[in-house]
A and B are shown apart, each in its own frame.
Chain A
Amino acid sequence: MEKKFEIKDLITVGVFTALYFAVTFAVACIGFIPIFMVFMPLIGPIFTGIPLMLYFSKIKHFGMITITSVIIAILMFITGHPYPIFIFCIGAGLLTELVLKAGNYQSIKSCVIGSSTFSLWLLGMVIAFFFGFRESYLNSLVDGYGQEYVDKMSGYTPTWVFFTMIAMCIVGGLIGGLLGAKVLKKHFRKAGIV
């Protein structure tokens, strides 16, 4: 059986997934401050885009970034995020695979776009807040507070907020990707590592 992945590839996946996760976590800690929490989908990808770009430069064939997204999904699940996270992570991962493949694993442009598509997994974290939360909670409120109240609550969490978050992920990812490309050029290419 042809082995699809070499040990070198798998170790690269492991190491960079760890780095990506660590940066995400570090940024998320700052996000605990309520003001910033809302902007996490924007700020997070800006910073995580940088190591992500280096990771992309090491990817030469299909499958590696999908593994990363699966691992992140599993990690998120293990730490208690509900199941929609799987859909978003793997979806974002596969989308990114296609983007990278389209660029033949060489093009910087496709890497930058890949940075934004990959960042979409963050939505998986908040999706439960919107759909799972809303429906059940609102339903439970009807008994206690009355329909009018529920309608008002519904008004506070409209779906447009969700779309704003999508936009934030994409924009943040693009910025992060561009920053990453700049860092790669300035340091890694010059040092001969890329």
Chain B
Amino acid sequence: MELGLSSTSDKSVKKLDPRTKLCLLIAISLIMVGGKTVGVEYILRVICAAIPFVLLLTVRHIKSALIYVMLLGLSVFCEGSVIPNISGAPNLILMILCGIISRFVPGYMMGWYTVRSTSVSEFMTAMDRMHVPYFITIPFSVMFRYFPTLGEEYRSIHDAMKMREIGQSVKNPFIYIEYVLVPIMMSTVRIADELSAASLTKGLCAGGKRTHICQISIKFYDWLLMLGSLVMIVLFFVF
């Protein structure tokens, strides 16, 4: 789960401020799940469903955009044409499935876009600008730093298990879990220790002020989109 790392150098695409993405996320989340399928709300829903698709295209994630469109299209199609025509158990399953997809997938896709298009430093800088307290931003930073390491540790431990020919049979899942989790947990403790010592020597201070070299700023299209999200949310509550 690495956030998009190269986005700071990807100048060809107009970069959205992370705070804008947050506003859009809130709007889409609210509207897609709670909205009715008629009237003004329907239009809002269509807009919200379209936003992630467009955004994904702007960051060249064409495959994800296409999968999204297909998934959504399929479920809408089912809801409209297929479900009324069949009954019983398949009807129920399809209804639940399509209901879930059409309601939650746009939100998930917006989330996926946010994660893939924001670099860690942009994210942290945005959080600082929004005055999120240090005891939230530092653990967040550490978390993103630790995920890839966790992956490395796991792969290495998995190799060791393969080499020692243990934990191979699926007969006893708990033994497998013990073999995997215990070394990972030990390693977590160790790395937390080393990381703490290193950060302290680099001047990291709990509650201390710090500057950021990452520049993020809200441009006019950011304002536009944030305003748009606000309008949608208001309309959502009014109708």
Q: Do A and B come from one complex?
A: yes
User: Chain A: residues with CB nearer than 8 A to chain B?
Assistant: 1, 3-8, 10-19, 21-23, 25, 47, 50-51, 54, 58, 63, 67-68, 70-71, 74, 77-83, 128-129, 132-133, 136-137, 139-140, 143-145, 153, 156, 179, 183, 187-188, 191, 193
B196 touches A140 (CB 8 A): no
Report Cα–Cα, A54/B185, bound state, in Å: 8
Instruction: Check B199 against A7 for contact (C-beta < 8 Å).
Output: yes
CB A175 to nearest CB in B, in angstroms, measures 11
The DSSP consensus for interface residues of chain A is: helix
Give the chain A neighbours of B90 by CB distance below 8 A: none
Query: Taking the complex as formed, is B192 at the interface, i.e. its CB lies under 8 A from any CB of chain A?
Result: yes
Known: A11-B195, A16-B188. 17 other contacts (CB 8 A): A14-B138, A15-B195, A17-B143, A19-B188, A21-B143, A23-B181, A51-B184, A74-B140, A80-B106, A83-B30, A136-B35, A139-B36, A140-B36, A145-B84, A153-B95, A183-B181, A191-B186
- Footprint of A on B, CB under 8 Å? 1, 22, 25-26, 28-30, 33-38, 84, 92, 95, 99-100, 103-104, 106-112, 114-115, 134-136, 138-147, 150, 174, 177-178, 181-182, 184-186, 188-189, 191-192, 195-196, 199-200, 204-207
* Contact between B110 and A143, CB atoms less than 8 A apart: no
CA A125 to CA B73, docked complex, whole Å? 24
User: Which of A3, A132, A140 sits near B207, CB closer than 8 Å?
Assistant: A3
Shortest distance from the beta carbon of B181 to any chain A beta carbon, whole Å: 6
Q: Which residues of chain A are near B114, meaning CB under 8 Å? A: 78-79
> Do B30 and A82 have beta carbons less than 8 Å apart?
yes
Q: A22 and B25: CB pair below 8 A?
A: no
Q: Which of A10, A82, A136, A191 interacts with B107 by CB under 8 Å? A: A82
User: How far is the CB of A132 from the nearest CB of chain B, in Å?
Assistant: 5
Partner of B142 from A11, A74, A77, A156 at Cβ < 8 Å = A11
**A6–B34 CA distance with the chains assembled, in angstroms:** 41
Collect the chain A residues with CB atoms within 8 Å of residue B177's CB. Answer: 47, 50
Instruction: Give chain A residues whose Cβ lies under 8 Å from the Cβ of B199.
Output: 7, 11
Shortest CB-to-CB span from A52 to chain B, Å, is 11
